[in-house]
Structure 1
Amino acid sequence: MHLTTAVAGTAAGLLTGPWIRAAVFRLSVPPDTPDRTACPRCGRRLRPASADRCPSCHERVALPCGVTEIASATMLGTIAGAVGPRPELIAFAWLAVLCVALATIDLIVYRLPDRLTLPAYPALAALLAGAALLNSEPGKFLRAVLAGAVLAAGYLLLALIRPGDLGLGDVKLAGPLGMVLGWVGWPSVLFATALSFVLCGLVGVVLLAVRRADARTALPLGPFMVYATFVVLLVTPGQ
């Protein structure tokens, strides 16, 4: 555990919390729907990064203040403590912040917006390329890019075979997750992929057992993909 780096990561996570809350507010809408910019009750234009209730009608319009800050601080603090002060930490931390927003949106409206997933490809590739140059490890960068492509292709194949069980948002998310996992190593790619489906299945079984779901209930896979990825990164950060 790198304590100093963990503290810095936690502080950075607290600072990104308002951005995550605003992104969740704007993008937690059905597909092909404009971004949410106003209170659904009174129509006042809002800035949910600084408040979770409408100042006019006091309707709750965003996640409570502190929720996204705590989630982001926990994610960044643990990742920073595990990885330490290495160049790839910037790429891992950037993706962690993005994934907190994506997982939250997926839980709320069962979608992973292109607005967040697609820009992740060039941004993450650039950050990992910079880390590879600083570390003099071009092989890791090539493996990361290949792993991202392979994982996205694998998810696309599953989506084509079982279109009702897997969405294109999951396919697009698989690429960036595969890149950071590929940086660590191929075993991490395989383990995280398997873990995401196992966790989703276990949660489904629990919901069935407590009668909170039935056989037709769909679960968003995105949060399980994110959780499995960062569990693996915490376990094997430096391979």
Structure 2
Amino acid sequence: MASWPAGLALLTLATSGVFGLAIGSFLNVVVYRVPIHLSVVSPPSACPRCGTHIAPRDNIPVLSWLLLAGKCRTCRTSISARYPLVEAGTALSFVAVTWRMLSGTSGAGIASDVLVLTGFLYLVAMSIALALIDIDVHRLPNSLVLPSYVVGAGLLGSAAALSGDWVAMLRAGVGMAALWLAYFILSLVYPGGMGFGDVKLAGVLGLFLGHLGWGELAVGAFAAFLLGGIYAVGLLAAGRATRTSGIPFGPWMLVGAWVGIFFGAWLWNGYLAVLGAI
């Protein structure tokens, strides 16, 4: 965080955590409504059993669930613990990503850094929503994936223009095209195991990973297959899946990408050092 004053950096971390709680509450709505093609803005959230609209005092992230002991105030129906977990997890993820992005600033300017940070916080929100939806219904909705190309390219491209880092913009474009093409080929070779939703998501992840660096791109792409493969083998060994079972790969693509974002440069440099390339 060398290019940011310490006080501003701490304020940004705190603000991102509070903002993450609010976004996490919204993501719960997105995860439930988008797969069934409902508006995410209306009608207001309500108890699925008694239909009572949730009052503002009962819609405070995490706190309301704890105060109500995980039950609807009106009919006392249990409310899944996933709701506060998503809210708290989003807040923690926002803080972690803010720390990562501010620690990796190049000193090109706060305006450029803010655009990059905003882009990666957007990716956090999309990652959580898409992972949960893919787990629930085995789909990666176009309504979430496709706008991510526009948002990511707009924010990261604007940051590159402000900082003059045209190399980052080029890497982002190459990363987007390379991962999209790689997954497209895999979808043709192995149509039963790779859906076109994965192909579209791959381009988004390539865009963000490529912006950071070649190491992040390589590690993020490889980690998805490594972690997904380990999980699949574990399910087979435990008898909880067969070779023909459908296992959503989107969550592993997203987890792999975040491994690349946080640890890609370090792992890539270590790999090159072992090879004697550096």
TM bracket (short chain): 0.7 to 0.9
Determine which of 226, 235, 242 is the counterpart of 1:198. 226
Q: Larger deviation: 43-52 or 165-174? A: 43-52
Within 5 A, what are the aligned runs for 1:165-176? 165-176=193-204
Greater C-alpha Rg: 2
Determine which of 173, 176, 179 is the counterpart of 1:148. 176
Cα contact 2:184–2:199 (8 A) shared by 1:
yes
Corresponding residue number in structure 2 for 1:20 = 27
- Go from structure 1 to structure 2 and tell me whether the alpha carbon gap of 1:42 and 1:68 turns closer, same or farther (over 3 Å shift): closer
- Go from structure 1 to structure 2 and tell me whether the alpha carbon gap of 1:121 and 1:63 turns closer, same or farther (over 3 Å shift): farther
Determine which of 52, 60, 77 is the counterpart of 2:95. 77
Corresponding residue number in structure 1 for 2:15 = 8
Return the offset for 1:176: 1.1
- Go from structure 1 to structure 2 and tell me whether the alpha carbon gap of 1:78 and 1:56 turns closer, same or farther (over 3 Å shift): same
CA distance in 2, matches of 1:48, 1:198: 44
Gaps (5+ residues) in structure 1? none
CA distance in 2, matches of 1:116, 1:41: 24
Cα contact 1:6–1:81 (8 A) shared by 2:
yes
CA distance in 2, matches of 1:182, 1:63: 36
Cα contact 1:151–1:178 (8 A) shared by 2:
yes
- Give the TM-score of the pair, scaled to structure 1: 0.85
Corresponding residue number in structure 1 for 2:253 = 225
Cα contact 1:17–1:69 (8 A) shared by 2:
yes
Q: Larger deviation: 78-87 or 156-165? A: 78-87
Return the offset for 1:233: 0.9
Corresponding residue number in structure 2 for 1:113 = 141
Gaps (5+ residues) in structure 2? 60-64, 106-112, 270-278
CA distance in 2, matches of 1:129, 1:70: 30
Return the offset for 1:74: 2.1
Return the offset for 1:9: 2.7
Cα contact 2:156–2:169 (8 A) shared by 1:
yes
- Go from structure 1 to structure 2 and tell me whether the alpha carbon gap of 1:40 and 1:110 turns closer, same or farther (over 3 Å shift): farther
Return the offset for 1:7: 3.2
Cα contact 2:223–2:259 (8 A) shared by 1:
no
Return the offset for 1:47: 7.0
Q: Indicate the percent of aligned positions where both proteins have the same amino acid.
A: 30
- Go from structure 1 to structure 2 and tell me whether the alpha carbon gap of 1:106 and 1:63 turns closer, same or farther (over 3 Å shift): farther
Corresponding residue number in structure 1 for 2:38 = 35
CA distance in 2, matches of 1:198, 1:230: 13
Q: Larger deviation: 140-149 or 114-123? A: 140-149
- Go from structure 1 to structure 2 and tell me whether the alpha carbon gap of 1:186 and 1:45 turns closer, same or farther (over 3 Å shift): farther
Larger RCO, structure (CA 8 Å, separation 6 or more): 1
Return the offset for 1:64: 3.7
Which string of whole-angstrom CA distances, capped at 9 and with x for unpartnered residues, describes residues 181-231 of structure 1?
A: 001122322211111011111011111222222222221111111111112
- Partner amino acid for 1:35? L
Q: What number of residue pairs does the alignment pair up? A: 235
Cα contact 2:223–2:260 (8 A) shared by 1:
no
